[in-house]
Chain A
Amino acid sequence: MNKTILEERKSQMHRIGEEPFAMACNRPSLAGAVSQRACVFCGSRVVLYPIADALHLVHGPIGCATYTWDIRGAISSGPQLHRLSFSTDLQEMDVIFGGEKKLEASLRELIGLHNPKAAFVYSTCIVGLIGDDLEAVCRRVSEDTGITVLPVMSEGFKGNKREGYAAACKAMFRLVGTGDTTGISPMSVNILGDFNLAGETWIVREYFKKMGVETVANITGDGRVDDIRRCHGAALNLVQCSGATMELAKMMEEKYGIPYQRVSYLGVEDMADSLYKVADFFSDRDPEIKAKTVELVRGELSVLMPKLAELRRDLEGKKVAMYVGGSFKAFSLVKAFRHLGMSVVVVGSQTGTEEDYKELAAISDPGTIIVDDANPLELAQFIKEKDVDVFVGGVKERPIAYKLGVGFCDHNHERKIALEGFIGMYNFAREIHASVMSPIWRFMPRRNARPATSARVTCIPKEAVNG
């Protein structure tokens, strides 16, 4: 390995088959390494953002709020309050004398203007430092306005995204159990850890409906405060996304005895497996449910498979690298790519745990590179080393692939195309197909002797321009 990989980072990468499995992870990012990771606040914001009838107030200086204004693809079937960006926009005097007064005034003002069902107040780094008592302010405003106001302790420096997930779950858990559960079907679930990107939650809800299963609350895609209040009345929690809402499911199991299952709605097998899991769970309550589910899956697959086969003809044998936020998604994607005849040769995540990586190693082919908390130079090196055809990641990863003339598929919280469910698998396959099969890759300098531009070869001498 060359100098693009820092000594301290070597224990956070692994090549399957070349050495016994060992992987360091869940560490703080290395200073100066240009990590792709965000912060605790980011984790909380991602999870809670889709609760559409709540007010989301970022308590801090302006940037934290600006950079998160409506950047997710989480859509709502009703209220749109979550798409606005509210901030206390702390100024110097607030930092010196404390921001509690401003927070309180902001909350009262915004609650008056928008009349939300509840409010979440996110704490940012600086608030953690100046020691504002969020809890007290939130309590006061709650008492006076009758609106539940919940502090989210998401100071950015207190760890990585995972801690943010936990903080979000803690805040939500205070809502759970405060609503009336009468009328909830014994065959009912909560959908946890789906964010309704491009309407994905609706796809999944529709499947459950066809199986005769009621969805009490989507937590948090297209989320509603009142649904969360009564979600402890559901019979089963379905947890997608490795980190985001697991904590909430565990807390609900402990306090309300609701069991949970891990599911994934990405890819053909995982989607079908998830539905079968639900059917199994309810089979003693409804002996028909298995048959209904088989029917549902068969119907969907009969439409999907021929279409996939068509795309697969072109994609067979192509190689994939991916870098995703949570590693759980990576499992599903590895399998989904197999369906397309493609192999994943590099896979990384921002926040995987040791078990996640172990599991990932178990399902990956020999030679696959697994990496935790990577940075642009490492990712670029892996792309080149494995000569991949397509890279799956988020906005920050995109230019890394594109600069090297490699296809890219956006698979993050900002996407506007639904990739979940059987229809989502088709969308995904089409997107991968469009990314890989474009004729433009033939003209890329890395694959072609001809230089990309004459600029690098016969550029204007620097002296003539600058000096």
Chain B
Amino acid sequence: MANTYVSTTNACKMCTPMGAALVFKGIENAVPFLHGSQGCATYMRRYIISHYREPVDIASSALGEKSAVYGGGPNLKKGILNVMRKYDVDLVGVATTCLTETIGDDVGRYLYEFREEFADLPLPELVHVSTPSYSGTHMEGWHAAVRSLADQVVKEKGASHGGVNLLPGFLSPADYRFLRGLGERSGVRFTMLPDLSRTMDGVIWDDYHSLPDGGTPVADIRAMGGAAGTIEFGMSGGLAESASGVLERKFGVPARKTMIPIGLRATDAFMDTLSEFAGCDMPEKDAFDRGRLLDAMVDGHKYIFGKRAVVYGEEDFVIAMCSFLGEIGVQPVLAATGTQGERFREAVTEALGDVCVNMPVIRSGADFKDIEEEAAELAPDLLVGHSKGYKLARASNIPLIRVGFPIHDRFGGQRILHVGYEGALSLYDMLVNAVLEKSQDECPVGYGYL
């Protein structure tokens, strides 16, 4: 067990409202609105833009000293009106910050008053979520925002439509694109919440758009009560607290949690759940991709068997990534996440139980100082995680496979596909090639054949 420190050095997490802001970026014609001082919104925009390279407008109530003392209600209302003036918004997603949580602003009440005061205006859907960063990370913020959307936007069960609600969690736009495609291929009506496939990886414009195209339409969110079931990715939290749990409790929509479908077994499980809910067969493309994945696993197994990997990032992402690494014969030696979570240990152990003999060191609430110290003992061959691990990779001369968020030092982070058989295949290629590149670089003979 490594040391535990009072302070955090090089955090492996971001703050709560950022997760919420990203969720709202995945809703059609929505503007994320941070209720707090200006800096938070600007910092997050900068951080997010570096990864996605897309416009990311996040409004702020831009509180100053006075509002910090007397409450931020007036600024919040004025801010929403300004957003309405400038953007054709269907939804404004208001997330609190540490500041407004601490002064105890009651955002729900402010929004209620706002709706009364401006009842004569065509008001957008106003959703609020409580996201103090002193209790949680960007992932708690993410889940809280999805839950708020399910709770506040879905008002009635509505007509049954036989579709499937899909709550994928924090994935790359390429992943959302893949899942949309799966919906189309399988003929299942997916309501994916959120959907960052186009909003955070868009096309060039001929004129400036105040908001990007794409995202989950608000009308579709409203209709989620009539779905045949909800599939929510992620094994780290319970159902009761989650958005799928809310839909089940309120409207009787059956909820199921599955691992993020990274790798063979997790994708199999997801496909099975999907056909169970929607009665569809696996699309031919995916069936072929599954075969190709197995074929590649056979072709490449010798190169990576027994390699040792350090995996870090968002907890659900790490759990699923460990599962995949385990099944291709890579030994995860450290699974680390910045989030504090009870279930993380259990879920990693479960994911690896039938493919790995040895369990990795499992750390929640970790920062990069912890990860570095653990890694020094564990002598890994590979680092698997976002770009903030580069410092460690450079210092220890271990290849870093960049996946997840954020990727600030490479191009195309938004186009990395992690999920589905297709995603597993491209991850597999990346992993094998990283190992080959390293052995080629270090080999005294510059060889041209394997």
The residues of A with any CB-CB pair to B shorter than 8 Å are: 3-4, 6, 28-42, 57, 60-69, 71, 84-92, 94-95, 102, 105-106, 109-110, 124-126, 128-130, 156-160, 375-377, 380-381, 383-384, 394-396, 398-400, 402-405, 444-446, 451-453, 455-456, 460, 462, 464-467
Contacts and interface: CB of A to CB of B under 8 A. Distances in A.
Interface in B317-347: none
Given A62-B8, A156-B37, A157-B37, A68 B204 contact: no
Given A69-B388, A85-B9, A467-B220, A456 B213 contact: yes
A148 to B, nearest CB: 19
Given A31-B61, A69-B11, A396-B45, A63 B55 contact: no
B358 interface: no
Nearest to A99: B134
A35 B55 contact: no
Contact of B11 (A89, A394, A451): A89
Contacts of A4: 86, 210
Interface stretch (B96-104, B120-128, B250-258, B422-430): B96-104
A31 B103 contact: no
Contacts of B64: 28, 157-159
Interface stretch (B75-83, B273-281, B285-293, B297-305): B75-83
Interface in B141-190: 163, 180, 183-184, 189-190
Contacts of A94: 134
A40 B99 CA distance: 14
B191 to A, nearest CB: 7
Contact of A92 (B54, B82, B135): B135
Contact of B204 (A62, A71, A381, A405): A405
Given A6-B82, A33-B86, A129-B99, 16 more contacts: A32-B78, A35-B42, A42-B42, A60-B98, A61-B133, A66-B13, A67-B47, A157-B63, A376-B55, A377-B210, A400-B55, A403-B205, A445-B205, A446-B206, A453-B204, A467-B163
B29 interface: no
A215 B446 CA distance: 49
Contacts of B97: 125
17 contacts: A29-B38, A32-B82, A42-B43, A61-B15, A64-B39, A66-B14, A66-B47, A157-B63, A158-B64, A377-B86, A383-B208, A403-B54, A403-B55, A445-B206, A466-B195, A466-B216, A466-B220
B11 A85 contact: yes
Nearest to A29: B62
Contact of A63 (B10, B18, B78, B184): B18
A92 B134 CA distance: 5
Contacts of A69: 10-11, 388
Contacts of B202: 403
B113 to A, nearest CB: 16
B134 A126 contact: yes
A63 B44 contact: yes
Contact of A396 (B5, B42, B98, B163): B42
B341 to A, nearest CB: 14
A41 B207 contact: no
A299 to B, nearest CB: 37
Contacts of B37: 39, 125, 156-157
Contact of A90 (B45, B85, B134, B205): B134
B53 interface: yes
A3 B86 contact: yes
Interface in B76-119: 76, 78-83, 85-86, 97-99, 102-103
Interface centre among A34, A404, A465 (most CB of B within 10 A): A34
Contact of B78 (A31, A446, A453): A31
A61 B13 contact: no
B99 A157 contact: yes
A35 to B, nearest CB: 6
Contacts of A86: 7-9
B68 interface: yes
B59 A32 contact: yes
Given A376-B55, A403-B204, A395 B43 contact: no
A87 B83 contact: no
Contacts of B36: 125
B433 to A, nearest CB: 27
Contacts of A42: 39, 42-43
Interface of B: 5-11, 13-18, 33, 36-47, 49-50, 53-65, 67-68, 75-76, 78-83, 85-86, 97-99, 102-103, 132-135, 137, 163, 180, 183-184, 189-192, 195, 202-210, 213, 216-217, 219-220, 223, 388
Contact of A31 (B39, B62, B206): B62
Interface centre among A32, A90, A158, A376, by most chain B C-beta atoms within 10 angstroms, is: A32
A244 B434 CA distance: 44
Contacts of A29: 38, 60, 62
A456 B183 contact: no
B8 A109 contact: no
B208 A160 contact: no
Contacts of A92: 132, 134-135
Contacts of A71: 46
Contact of A467 (B38, B206, B217): B217
A35 B82 CA distance: 12
B46 A396 contact: yes
A90 B14 CA distance: 13
Contacts of A62: 8, 11, 13-15, 133, 137
Nearest to B67: A157
Given A67-B43, A402-B53, A452 B205 contact: yes
A125 B39 CA distance: 10
Contacts of A41: 39
Contact of A395 (B13, B50, B75): B50
A67 B208 contact: no
A63 B210 contact: no
B38 A38 contact: yes
Contacts of A89: 7-8, 11
A106 B7 CA distance: 5
A421 B64 CA distance: 39
A90 B6 CA distance: 10
Given A67-B44, A110-B7, A465 B205 contact: no
A404 B203 CA distance: 10
A385 to B, nearest CB: 11
B203 A37 contact: no
Given A156-B40, A157-B37, A452-B203, A126 B98 contact: yes
Given A31-B76, A106-B6, A125 B46 contact: no
Nearest to B135: A92
B9 A380 contact: no
Contacts of B137: 62
A384 B195 CA distance: 30
Contacts of B207: 384, 404, 446
Contact of A156 (B39, B50, B79, B180): B39
B49 A125 contact: no
Contact of B38 (A39, A68, A400, A452): A39
Given A6-B82, A61-B15, A62-B13, A87 B102 contact: no
Contact of B184 (A125, A455, A464): A464
A200 to B, nearest CB: 21
B132 to A, nearest CB: 7
